[in-house]
Structure 1
Amino acid sequence: MDPCTHGSGVQRSSIRLLDYLRGVVNLAGCRLNESLKSWESSASLTAEDLGKIKPEKYTSESEGTAEYRKSTNRPAECVHKCHSTISSWRHTSFVHCSDVPEKLREPYIEYGYLLPFMPWRYYLRGLFIPCYELSNVWTHLLPGLYFIYLLYTFSYEMDIIQAWPLFLITLSAIAVCGFSSMAHLFHARSTLHHSCWFVADYFGITLYAFSTMASNFYSGAKLEYYKWLSPYYLHIITAISVVGFTSLCVTQTKQTWISLQVGRQLKLAINGLGYAFGALPLMIRMYETSASETALQYHLLAIISMMIAPITYGSDFPQRCYPGVFDMFGHSHMWFHVFTASAMYFDVHAIRTDVLTGPWRTISAQEGFPTITAALFYYFLVMMCGIISGHLTHCAIKRDYKEEDVFLQGKRTCPCGIPKTIRIAKEPCKQD
């Protein structure tokens, strides 16, 4: 190819490209000029327009400014200085208990709360920013992931379907950790969300209570005790689970006779009685058998952990002695989660040991021993009753806290996306 011809072709292509770019720039400039002219014409208010705006109807300068911006199509601006601090990862250290609804407050916890009525993505930050819920979430999220790993491991170690007591209790341990983590992550959005999410948390606890009672009985009970109670046992624990969950739901409704302290005591009593009935076959076995068995040692550690957990939760120790010191880490609710997760760990390994080397082989060989189909039937029956009770409770809670709808629907939201009602005690929210 002739170099001169090639050079002239490149030159022509360059000229065309420059012409095209010049045309694009000119077109953009024309569009920009048109936009500026339309904005200037809308921004210039006539005397007639000014007469339509009545200053006396505004209670503050910000309301008049909002009306002005609305009439001129100008973008709104946030006028709350404290809203800028919410983007900081340390902002929860300024959120006092007086800044959140009463039902969201924890005894002797002064700071570290997540703000209410915020967008959903804000509460996902509770996984990483220092706040009261940070330790509550991770002390059940990590054990939940570990129980998923255990279930995967057990499926290679044995026939997990045939050894259904181990499958059932491991599955329920995953459920209770998952529901608890989600409840602590999202409950702070409002009083309505607090009640509804903790109803879901109680649902997970109920499933685990049913699984514990069934697994302890059908894998580790004494043969005489098993033969005596076997025909009625699944019916009994189903009734206990449903009644217990319904009672827990009542504690989340807006009943005048249920204070925060009464509700906590009622929850502890219900869970304690259910766990005591489930541990009864283990107590009889420990009384009549040598306590040196590995499975019984696991069972004993599980019982001790489960006894310490409600005591720690109900005593509010150590924040009762040092208010404000354990606002984000080391408080009683965190230790409650640690002990309950430990109890679930010991329960799962105790059932595994019973299935491999304990009384399960003798019990499962008995006539009338329930299959996994029968166990799952009653398990799903508890789930269905729980879903019905939970739905009815949700409807009652929604009626109780109907006044929060205006905030949850974003009708009183600042232009920055943060509710106008948000206030931070240490850094008062002031307007320009």
Structure 2
Amino acid sequence: MKPTNSDDEKNNNVLKQLPDENDFLHALHNDHSTVPQCTVAKYVVKGYVLPHMPWRYYVKSLFLPSNELLNIWTHLIPGLYFIKMLFRYNETIDLVENWPLSLTIISSITVMMCSALMHTFHSRSMYDHACWMMLDFFGIVFYAFGSTVAHFYGCSELHYYQSTNKNYFSVSTKHQRPCLLDDAASSPPRFEQIIFNCRIGWWNLLIFMFNCTSVFACCCNTKVGQKNSDEHFTRFLRIASVGGGYIYGHLPLMHRLYTSGLDEAMVYHIISTVCLTTAVVVYLSDFPQRWFSGTFDIIGQSHQLFHVLSALCCYFDILAVEQDMLASDKHWSVLSVQPDTPSLLHVFTAAILLIIFSFKFATRCLRNHGQRIGVCPCLCCKHTHPKMK
């Protein structure tokens, strides 16, 4: 069926609504009606980059004024700084022996970089939005895993660690007890039962990994898997699942604060927790754009404040774990010599399993729902931009 003149006229009218990409300030004039609706931020009216453009356009958007510019750089800059911190610590600290510190830094780098990549490329289409959002979810989950493991194995009190680690494998065997030669003929063989109890400190790694995989599955399913779902409800589910994981990861610190009080490392832990809590409140409240829609489209929106606070949370978490690692009479010096403390190999294996599960689950979601999430009812997707490749 050949397109009619009215169809051609409608296509031309739609394309006229899109600003010229060669204009350096073109995103500032592009409103929410010309982009996929899943990429629209609540109460943010303008500042959207163009959809359905070549990949190089979104790389250039790193330097174009838009409502995503600060979202990108408020996590890209901290991510690069955390990489610098990793190399700096490696010059003075054995990061293999003190693996809770290296795990905290690597997980912080992961969450920052995944977020920066998501905000750079998610606006291309609905399908790309789903893909990059799941990468962002993985970064959040991986940071939760790294932070929880570091808090439990590197920052908790010894009696808390032992009380939450009462898991045993018992092996029973009968062993013939040797006797003297002169008694061998007259004495019957004597046997004694030997029971080997082996506490497995890495058992909690499986619990942490299961918790993180559940959170990732919940986030992906609420974002991609639900065909007709209320945005407020799915947003609540994602926050509740992630928040539950973070609360679980902070239980060792709550117990430590209650039993041992404040020290320098604990002050950093508290600052990190306050930053994280405030970030969640700002994210959920949509402050200030909720009451001033269109005013804070480019600078000052809640998601940018959320990024700054979450980056500060990661930074102070690194400083807190560093203090616990370096103090000769503090928690890591006690926990590291426990016979049931997991090695770096155990932690690395759990992290690899988490990565494999996340990749498999994400690809399955895209395979099962890819056709549906690729259909957008907005004008920009009904009339594809001619420069899309």
TM bracket, shorter-chain basis: 0.7 to 0.9
Distance 1:90-1:229 versus aligned 2 partners, 3 A rule: same
Q: Which deviations, in whole Å up to 9, do the C-alpha atoms of 1:183-222 show, x marking residues without a partner? A: 0000000111111101011111111111000000111111
Instruction: Pick from 41, 58, 65 the counterpart of residue 106 of structure 1.
Output: 41
In the alignment, which residue of structure 2 is the partner of 1:115?
50
Give how far 1:412 is off: 4.9
Gaps of at least 5 residues in structure 1 are 1-55, 65-78, 420-432
Q: Which deviations, in whole Å up to 9, do the C-alpha atoms of 1:266-325 show, x marking residues without a partner? A: 11111110000000000000011121x110000000111111111100100000111100
In the alignment, which residue of structure 1 is the partner of 2:126?
191
Q: Which deviations, in whole Å up to 9, do the C-alpha atoms of 1:148-200 show, x marking residues without a partner? A: 00100111111100101011110111111111100000000011111110101
Give how far 1:256 is off: 3.9
Kindly report which structure 2 residues correspond to 1:4-403, keeping only aligned pairs within 5 A, or say none: 59-60=4-5, 85-230=20-165, 231=201, 232-291=203-262, 293-357=263-327, 358-403=330-375
Q: Which deviations, in whole Å up to 9, do the C-alpha atoms of 1:383-425 show, x marking residues without a partner? A: 1111111111121331213446xx99999553xx269xxxxxx
| Matched residue type, 1:174 | I
Higher strand share: 2
Give how far 1:376 is off: 0.6
Rg larger for? 1
Root mean square deviation, CA, Å: 2.6
Q: What is the rounded CA distance, in whole Å, between the counterparts of 1:383 and 1:57 in structure 2? A: 48
Distance 1:361-1:132 versus aligned 2 partners, 3 A rule: same
Give how far 1:84 is off: 6.6
Q: What is the rounded CA distance, in whole Å, between the counterparts of 2:109 and 2:305 in structure 1? A: 19
Give how far 1:81 is off: 5.3
Distance 1:105-1:224 versus aligned 2 partners, 3 A rule: same
TM-score, normalisation: structure 2: 0.84
Gaps of at least 5 residues in structure 2 are 166-200
Q: What is the rounded CA distance, in whole Å, between the counterparts of 1:180 and 1:58 in structure 2? A: 41
Aligned length: 347
| Matched residue type, 1:60 | N
Distance 1:319-1:80 versus aligned 2 partners, 3 A rule: closer
SS in 2 for 1:187: helix
Q: Percent identity?
A: 34
Q: Which deviations, in whole Å up to 9, do the C-alpha atoms of 1:102-128 show, x marking residues without a partner? A: 211111101111121111111122211
Q: Which deviations, in whole Å up to 9, do the C-alpha atoms of 1:78-116 show, x marking residues without a partner? A: x96566722101111211111112211111101111121
